[in-house]
């Protein structure tokens, strides 16, 4: 289905043309003053400059030229040249009827689908997920769902970090603790033990310890670096340790993402790009892009328009080792070869902006990606505590993601808990808790930081995930009650509105397709959050005004059922796009 904005725009583009002005001035937008009108056209102001004519006059010419139509109820020209539009109730009702009958509430998929690789998650192996991993997972997963709904083909890749210094740090720390292990004996020829010399819990302690030591002790850092190079060069014992780390860490990562109900098509790792590195490096050298600077192999990526110094992109360090830039570039080689995407999106902490800026420039300059491949960095802000500093446990430690989920679920209040089985309560807490976490995150503009406020996020009132679910459950229970009392409406039909709050809700519902498209085009799940909050609020005002269950007139009841069914369908789609769902009861 075309959106109402598209339908109105057609009329106004025609009117601008007929009146002798450029057609594209007739683009319709949603009213900035819903108290005055529903839609508006601002093109007369733009036309004033082009045609040296007062905008009021242009607007009047245009209004006189609007073709015959079934859509518009009122148009008004107001200072300094706005054209204010209201649409007929009957048109809105017909439009909603089509939404209700159509698939995806009438959403029309894009006519230009893109193939998109979506890089999100991105945890380093060897440590369990913590709060710092939340946003990439939640935002990336929502973007995946939104892009698919929009009509794009999405390839979701977790891009696990397993090739950098963190591996060398673990290996070196382990060496200091247990030098007698065969992994460290270069002359050892036999098989390595099947059993890892550490557990997941050990790893969780080894890595931070090693990382802290490396920041204070240069020699320690140098040794960890050497271990990293040797691992990359394929030193047998280190490779065996790497495998142990992967074997222990991967199931834990998968388990944690599953608890978040976040998934990937590919669980590729940085190290999966290693076979692409030699040819990539060779080509960069041959093409004259890469040169040696202070021992390292680098590619210049600064541009004349830069307002800050952009250091060269380091391809190989002086010890020959691959770093973060190297694996990201080689991964682009792999993605180009395997998927040839139109676009690659990276959902990463915004502090990594410069890294990606350099990688993108280097990939374009050296021809790793085609000139029109779109490389997008979607940088997100931090999850903070109430003190405005990065969120921590009470004792000041890093909050594990699993503990955070537990904490939120424990804080979710379930009504009627006594009358439910333990499994039901657990399921409800899981469903509502996820909505609290994901909505609390996604409602913020991606680049902003936000305060993780447990009480607020889990509240059933206000701008929260549970409030949205509560509204959906309310609609489900009205429909269920109608069923139980033999008043179910089998093929609901929209009719005249019975009150203003009903029209207000309807006007929000008809904006569904436009809103989802905007969210997709702007990579902004927050647009969908604001939208469903508005829909939920308008529904609840309407619910307060109108006693649906008491309606005795069958035509009126049918229309009310159509309206609340469409509301529920839209909320179902939108929450699904955000990565959560409503329970049957709560």
Give residues in contact with ligand ARG (CB under 6 A). 119, 122, 124, 159, 161, 328, 346, 348
How many Å separate Cα 5 from the centre of its chain? 25
Q: Which is nearer to ligand ARG, 348 or 473 (CB)?
A: 348
> Sign (positive/negative) of CA torsion 217, 223, 226, 228?
negative
Q: Which is nearer to ligand ARG, 159 or 511 (CB)?
A: 159
Residue 117 — φ and ψ, nearest 5°? -95, 130
Residue 112 — φ and ψ, nearest 5°? -120, 75
Q: Which is nearer to ligand ARG, 61 or 157 (CB)?
A: 157
Shortest separation between residue 133's beta carbon and ligand ARG, angstroms: 8
Contact indicator for 123, 253 with CB cutoff of 8 Å: yes
Shortest separation between residue 382's beta carbon and ligand ARG, angstroms: 13
Shortest separation between residue 161's beta carbon and ligand ARG, angstroms: 3
Q: Which is nearer to ligand ARG, 160 or 536 (CB)?
A: 160
Interaxial angle between packed helices 236-259 and 165-177, expressed in degrees from 0 to 180 and rounded to the nearest 10: 110
Give me 394's structure tokens: 């009470």
How many Å separate Cα 265 from the centre of its chain? 16
Q: Which is nearer to ligand ARG, 159 or 225 (CB)?
A: 159
Shortest separation between residue 381's beta carbon and ligand ARG, angstroms: 15
Order the strands of the 39-41 sheet from edge to edge.
28-30, 39-41, 82-87, 72-78
Q: Which is nearer to ligand ARG, 359 or 509 (CB)?
A: 359
Shortest separation between residue 168's beta carbon and ligand ARG, angstroms: 15
Contact indicator for 231, 171 with CB cutoff of 8 Å: yes
Q: Which is nearer to ligand ARG, 119 or 252 (CB)?
A: 119
- Residue 523 has, within 13 A of its CA and on its CB side, a CA count of 16
Q: Which is nearer to ligand ARG, 328 or 551 (CB)?
A: 328
Q: Which is nearer to ligand ARG, 15 or 139 (CB)?
A: 139
Task: State the DSSP code for 320.
Answer: S
Number of Cβ atoms within 10 Å of the Cβ of 574: 23
Q: Which of 91, 208, 11 is nearest to 494 (CA)?
A: 91
3-class DSSP state of 28: strand
Q: Which is nearer to ligand ARG, 43 or 140 (CB)?
A: 140
Task: State the DSSP code for 198.
Answer: S
Shortest separation between residue 407's beta carbon and ligand ARG, angstroms: 23
Shortest separation between residue 522's beta carbon and ligand ARG, angstroms: 21
Contact indicator for 348, 139 with CB cutoff of 8 Å: no
Shortest separation between residue 478's beta carbon and ligand ARG, angstroms: 45
Strand partners, 451: 384
Shortest separation between residue 328's beta carbon and ligand ARG, angstroms: 5
73-107 burial code (b ≥16 CB/10 A, e <16): eebebeeebbbbbbbebebbbebbbebbeeebbbb
Shortest separation between residue 91's beta carbon and ligand ARG, angstroms: 47
């Amino acid at each position: 289905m075309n959106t109402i904005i598209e339908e109105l725009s057609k009329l106004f583009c025609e009117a601008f043309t007929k009146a002798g002005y450029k057609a594209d001035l007739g683009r319709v937008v949603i009213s900035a003053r819903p108290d005055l009108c529903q839609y508006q056209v601002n093109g007369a102001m733009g036309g004033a400059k082009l045609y040296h004519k007062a905008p009021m006059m242009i607007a009047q010419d245009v209004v006189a030229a609007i073709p015959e139509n079934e859509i518009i109820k009122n148009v008004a020209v107001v200072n300094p040249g706005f054209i204010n539009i209201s649409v007929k109730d009957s048109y809105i009702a017909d439009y909603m009827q089509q939404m209700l009958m159509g698939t995806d509430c009438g959403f029309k998929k894009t006519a230009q689908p893109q193939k998109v690789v979506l890089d999100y998650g991105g945890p380093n192996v060897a440590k369990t997920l913590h709060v710092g991993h939340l946003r990439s997972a939640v935002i990336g997963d929502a973007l995946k769902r939104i892009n698919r709904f929009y009509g794009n083909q999405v390839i979701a890749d977790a891009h696990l970090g397993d090739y950098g210094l963190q591996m060398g740090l673990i290996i070196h720390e382990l060496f200091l603790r247990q030098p007698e292990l065969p992994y460290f004996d270069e002359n050892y020829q036999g098989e390595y033990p099947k059993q890892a010399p550490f557990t997941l819990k050990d790893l969780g302690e080894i890595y931070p310890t090693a990382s802290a030591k490396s920041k204070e002790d240069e020699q320690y850092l140098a040794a960890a670096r050497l271990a990293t190079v040797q691992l990359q060069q394929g030193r047998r014992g280190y490779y065996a340790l790497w495998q142990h780390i992967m074997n222990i860490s991967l199931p834990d990562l998968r388990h944690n993402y599953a608890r978040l109900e976040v998934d990937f098509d590919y669980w590729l790792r940085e190290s999966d790009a290693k076979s692409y590195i030699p040819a990539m490096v060779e080509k960069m050298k041959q093409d004259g892009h890469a040169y040696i600077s202070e021992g390292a192999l680098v590619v210049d990526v600064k541009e004349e328009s830069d307002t800050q110094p952009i250091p060269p992109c380091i391809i190989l360090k002086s010890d020959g080792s691959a770093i973060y830039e190297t694996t990201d570039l080689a991964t682009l080689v792999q993605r180009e070869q395997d998927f040839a995407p139109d676009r690659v999106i990276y959902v990463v902490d915004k502090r990594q902006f410069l890294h990606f800026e350099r990688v993108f420039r280097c990939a374009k300059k050296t021809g790793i990606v085609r000139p029109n491949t779109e490389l997008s960095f979607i940088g997100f802000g931090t999850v903070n505590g109430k003190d405005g500093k990065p969120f921590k446990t009470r004792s000041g430690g890093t909050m594990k993601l699993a503990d955070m989920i537990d904490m939120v679920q424990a804080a979710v209040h379930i009504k009627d808990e006594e009358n439910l089985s333990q499994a039901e309560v657990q399921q409800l807490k899981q469903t509502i808790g996820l909505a609290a976490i994901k909505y609390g995150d996604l409602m913020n503009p991606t680049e902003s930081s936000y305060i993780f406020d447990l009480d607020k996020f889990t509240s059933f009132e206000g701008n929260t995930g549970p409030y949205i679910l509560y509204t959906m459950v309310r609609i489900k229970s009205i429909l269920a009650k109608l069923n139980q009392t033999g008043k179910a409406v089998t093929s609901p039909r929209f009719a005249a509105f019975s009150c203003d709050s009903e029209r207000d809700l309807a006007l929000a519902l008809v904006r569904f397709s436009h809103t989802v498209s905007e969210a997709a085009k702007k990579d902004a799940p927050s647009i969908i959050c604001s939208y469903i909050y508005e829909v939920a609020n308008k529904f609840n005002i309407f619910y307060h005004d109108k006693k649906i269950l008491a309606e005795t007139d069958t035509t009126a009841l049918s229309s009310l059922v159509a309206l609340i069914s469409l509301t529920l369908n839209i909320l179902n789609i939108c929450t699904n796009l955000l990565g959560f769902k409503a329970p049957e009861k709560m």
